[in-house]
Amino acid sequence: MSEAAASPRKRLFIRSWGCQMNVYDSGRMADVLAPLGYGPAEGPDAADMVILNTCHIREKASEKLFSELGRLRALKREKEAAGGRMVLAVAGCVAQAEGAEITARAPWVDIVLGPQTYHRLPEMVARASRAAGAVIDTDFPAEAKFDRLPEASAAPQGVTAFLTVQEGCDKFCSFCVVPYTRGAEYSRPAAPVLAEARRLVAQGAREITLLGQNVNAYHGDAPGGGRTWGLGRLLRALAEIPGLERLRYTTSHPRDVDDELVAAHRDLPQLMPFLHLPVQSGSDRVLAAMNRGHTAADFLSVAERLRAARPDLALSSDFIVGHPGERAADFDATLALVREVGFALAYSFKYSPRPGTPAASAPNQVPEAEKDARLQALQALLRDQQEAFNRSLVGRTIPVLVTGTGRHHGQVAGRSPWLNPVHLSASDALIGEVVPVAVLAAHTNSLSGALAAGTATEPPSQRREEPAPA
């Protein structure tokens, strides 16, 4: 073990906003910087380097970034006054989209890097130590990034883990910045994906969530060459890894749900019966304006095929209300689709313009007051459906993956197959085990329960067997 790995000389703090892929990317940035002697810091005040890993999807993303940069400026000055130095970096999608603006408004930022360049962080840190101004790197070398990243850290990753298999987007929805900040679709070859999954399982992961901007558009090279694998084939190979209890994937696009993926939902018990499948609107007119490439009927057909293959499948989705040109009748069509499908969970937002996207300059922008009213109506319906789904689990015994301790003494927390957080009183010796839980109560965002009668309170590897009678 190197001296840097054994006793970090510098401290690194990374703050992530947005999607699960940013969480994964932050972990890989820490892996890249570990050979330089950087170990984790609990907060920015104790850090020699701070990275803000940003997301451009949510409203007011830039304002949140600059507010945080203002607070970090004071910490950076304090560090310098004491004879030290804080390297300040901005990463992620806001960095990709607004690199020049960041350095103009916050000249105390040392490094600006896009999502495809964090494998070059060590070089950027070295350049920043010599340069008078900021180092900016926002290229799109997707293949080079994955080829040059080190293996993931050998440190324990937890019971659940993320694994990026696909990046970028070729869909160009009118409201979305992802094609401009993450670049074109790129799928990692299957062999390194499988190798990383095996390492995660060896480190204690029992559930892996595959990540991608359009994860079900995955088309990676098969191990040893030959034809390309789709996501369904990749899931089958992952399901063969001993010790990997559960598989999930996000985020999907309705256009990329093929027969092989539907069959994987039918055949693989490791593939959890929960799927996040954004529809965005129930109006064909709005879907066309969004450039989604599917109709409401297409989405309903996909949902029907998936539920026929896996009858206990629960769906989650994304909705945008008030897209430019959306009329009252279009919004009514969205409500109708929600009622017809029924969602266990959903995320809904008011449309907000993203600079450089087609919708930002489109005519017939919907007034804010109308967007507010529509969002409240949609969220009320979605909340009713979520609560109804949670109530439907009360009285059932369901398998729960115990992921950690709860907020109260003697309590543990876990995940249902449908991604519900579950709280119960049990020994923390069960962390990492899938145990049967009787659901006692449903809440808006979680379930509470108790170990089913007859369930052992210790995992099999820790239970002591009584000697056989003589």
Q: What is the pTM of this model?
A: 0.80
Chain length of the chain:
470
Q: What totals of helices (H) and strands (E) does the chain contain, helices first?
A: 14, 21
Cα gap 19→17, rounded to integer Å: 7
pLDDT given for residue 146 in this prediction: 66
Residue 419 identity (one-letter amino acid): L
Candidates 85, 72, 79, 84; CA nearest to 128 is: 85
Q: Of residues 139 and 353, which shows the higher confidence score?
A: 353
CB distance 215 to 252 below 8 Å = yes
pLDDT given for residue 5 in this prediction: 45
pLDDT given for residue 248 in this prediction: 98
- Mapping DSSP to helix (H, G, I), strand (E, B) and coil, where does residue 16 land? strand
pLDDT given for residue 153 in this prediction: 56
Res. 120 pLDDT band, cuts 50 70 90: confident
Q: Is pLDDT of 324 > 80? A: yes
With 0-12 CB in 10 A as exposed, 13-18 as middle and 19+ as buried, what is 354?
A: buried
Candidates 379, 374, 386, 376; CA nearest to 343 is: 386
Decide if domain 397-451 falls under CATH 2.40.50.140: yes
Pairing, β 219-221 against β 207-211: unpaired
Q: Of residues 127 and 196, which shows the higher confidence score?
A: 196
Q: Is pLDDT of 1 > 60? A: no
Q: Could you give phi then psi for residue 302, rounded to 5 degrees?
A: -60, -45
For 420-440, the pLDDT digits (tens) are 999 999 999 999 999 999 999
Domain ranges (residues) in the chain: 3-141, 145-392, 397-451
**Residues marked as binding for [4Fe-4S] cluster?**
19, 55, 93, 169, 173, 176
How big is the chain by its Cα radius of gyration, in Å?
24
| CATH tag, 3-141 | 3.40.50.12160
Decide if domain 145-392 falls under CATH 3.40.640.10: no
**Residues marked as binding?**
19, 55, 93, 169, 173, 176
For 68-87, the pLDDT digits (tens) are 999 999 999 998 888 888 99
For 14-73, the pLDDT digits (tens) are 998 877 788 888 888 988 898 888 999 999 998 999 999 988 766 567 778 888 999 999
Tell me the sheet residues that pair with 442: 447
